[in-house]
Structure 1
Amino acid sequence: MKVSTSLNVFGSSISRLEAIRRCAAAGFQVLDMNYWDLQNEMLQICWSEEEAWAKEMRAYADQLGVRFTQMHGPVHGGTFTNLVTGLTLDSFVGLAERSLRSAAILGIPWVVFHPTDIAIDGKETYEEILDYNLNFYRRLIPVLEETGIGIALENGCSVQGYNRFFTVAEELAQLVDALDHRLIGACWDTGHAHVQKVNQVSAIKMLGDRLKATHIQDNDGVSDQHLLPYQGTIDWVELVGALKEIQYSGDFTYEAHNGVNKLPDGIRDAGLKYALELGNYVVSLEKEKG
């Protein structure tokens, strides 16, 4: 496993090109392009402009000797009826398709998306929500096959009474299996699982080869804090052991921006170097035999 970081360690305070340069200078060889951070910007431009942007990002990453290996795709909203301002479901599908085409230019194999509830009132059954998500994500299959890019569906955590489902591995696996496509897998967010009090070792083993991407973050087990390992209370020896046991072949991808971007900018590059050194330490952990 290579240690990767989302570019959201810089938020929107600097350009994406500068974020790539600074992550590369800190020693990261693989990166996550957070399309979600750019969502409002992408809604204001046409595909030809986005295509030119993606080609510029790819050329600069190639020049610096770093690769993009994961993307957090656009987000429709808290639920399928509680949409981000300016979006309809149809316009979101169009944005999702564009993100997949940009991922292809960037050389990214897996783009992460959120399965969610239908509405915020929580009246739908699990079977209704499963069926809705199946029908929704099937709409992306033609573009998956056109581009060869996969989507990884992420475990959520319950917020304000919604996102009741797909927080546990059993439901996430059922969704992936029902979609039944080689370009559809799972993303495991360690922080979400910790808030949900999920046994992460069992969950990772259950997902097995469905697992294509990770969002690595720590927290106190109460709120979704997006911290670096050991800034919260996750057992990293057990978690990394499970990833190794299933022979997970993706990256150890930080979505731990609050462990770095809260720092003053003058010390943030040192924070990035520390984050990489810490990640390399974590992925080298071995369970004691006995």
Structure 2
Amino acid sequence: MNVSTSLNVFDAAIPRTEAVRRCAAAGFASLDMNYWDFQKQVLHMSEEEERAWARDIRASADEAGVRFTQMHGPVHGPTFANLVLELTLDAYERLVERSLRTAHILGVPWVVFHPSNLSVDGGESYEQTLEFNVRFYRKFVPILEETGVGIALENMTGHRQARTYFTVPEEQIELIDALDHPLVGACWDTGHGHKMSLNQKEAIAALGSRLKATHIQDNNGTHDQHVLPYQGTIRWDEVAQTLKAIGYEGDFTYETHNSIRTLPDGIRDAGLTYACSLGHYIISL
């Protein structure tokens, strides 16, 4: 298990090639590419321009001696009926396909996506929601098989206005098992689980071999804060030990931008070096 970080520790104004170089210099051996940060820009690119962009980022990783082991895919929005950037569902599907091809160029094995409710008010049943998500993600199986890139479906965090589905591992498992494909697995977001008052040890153990990716972040148990471990109240010894116990083969991948991106740029590299050392401490527990 390597310690990894999402490149969203740098805002989108900093080229990803520079972000790769600086994360590698801080000691990270593997990285997560946050496609979500760039989906507005990607929508204004041609597919060839996107491929060239991805090839440049991959070249920077190769030169720095690091590799991409995860990517956060594009996000449809709070629900499938409340899409961001004035997307239609068809346009979002095309964006998913593009992101998977970009992941293939980057050498990414697992791209994280959000399952979600169908509507804003959450009036649909769990069975209807599960069926929709199965149908939606099954559409991409041919491209998964073509590229060898997998989809990791993330545990979500609740909304105040309605019951939010796929916040608990049991529902994640049901969705993944219904899709029943070796290139479909789970991403466990520790911060989402903590905000939902879930037992991290039990949740990770339940996912078992389905777990292919992680979003490692801490919080105070109330808000989704995306801060470094020990800046919140998660029991990190339990997380690390359970990941080892299930034989997790992926990386310990930070999604902790609110601890790093908020720093002045002159001190950000020192913050990254500290974050990397902290991660190595945790996985040694």
* TM score, norm. by length of structure 2: 0.99
Q: 1:62 aligns to what?
A: 62
Residue 86 of structure 1: CA displacement?
Answer: 2.6
Q: 1:159 aligns to what?
A: 159
Matches within 5 A, 1:145-224: 145-162=145-162, 164-224=164-224
Q: Does 1:2 align with 2:2?
A: yes
Residue 160 of structure 1: CA displacement?
Answer: 3.1
Question: What is the number of residues matched between the two proteins?
Answer: 285
Identity %: 63
- Per-residue Cα deviation, 1:160-198 (whole angstroms, up to 9, x for no partner): 324611011110000000000010000000000000001
2:135 maps to amino acid? N
Cα-Cα RMSD = 0.8
- Per-residue Cα deviation, 1:83-138 (whole angstroms, up to 9, x for no partner): 00231111111111111111111110000000000001111110010001001101
Q: Distance in 1 between matches of 2:122 and 2:182?
A: 31
Residues 168 and 201 (structure 1), Cα distance of their counterparts in 2 relative to 1, 3 Å cut = same
Question: Equivalent residue of 1:187, what SS?
Answer: strand
Residue 62 of structure 1: CA displacement?
Answer: 0.4
Q: Distance in 2 between matches of 1:36 and 1:247?
A: 29
Residue 13 of structure 1: CA displacement?
Answer: 3.4
2:118 maps to amino acid? I
Q: 1:242 aligns to what?
A: 242
Q: 1:277 aligns to what?
A: 277
Q: 1:288 aligns to what?
A: none
Name structure 1 gaps, 5 residues minimum.
286-290
1:271 maps to amino acid? G
* TM score, norm. by length of structure 1: 0.97
Question: Equivalent residue of 1:85, what SS?
Answer: helix
Q: Distance in 2 between matches of 1:49 and 1:56?
A: 11
Q: Please tell me whether the aligned partners of residues 71 and 110 of structure 2 are also in contact (alpha carbons under 8 angstroms).
A: yes
- Per-residue Cα deviation, 1:8-60 (whole angstroms, up to 9, x for no partner): 00122311111111111111110000000010010001111111111111111
Q: Does 1:253 align with 2:253?
A: yes
1:186 maps to amino acid? A
Q: Distance in 2 between matches of 1:151 and 1:227?
A: 25
Name structure 2 gaps, 5 residues minimum.
none
Residue 281 of structure 1: CA displacement?
Answer: 0.2
1:205 maps to amino acid? A
Q: Distance in 1 between matches of 2:38 and 2:170?
A: 32
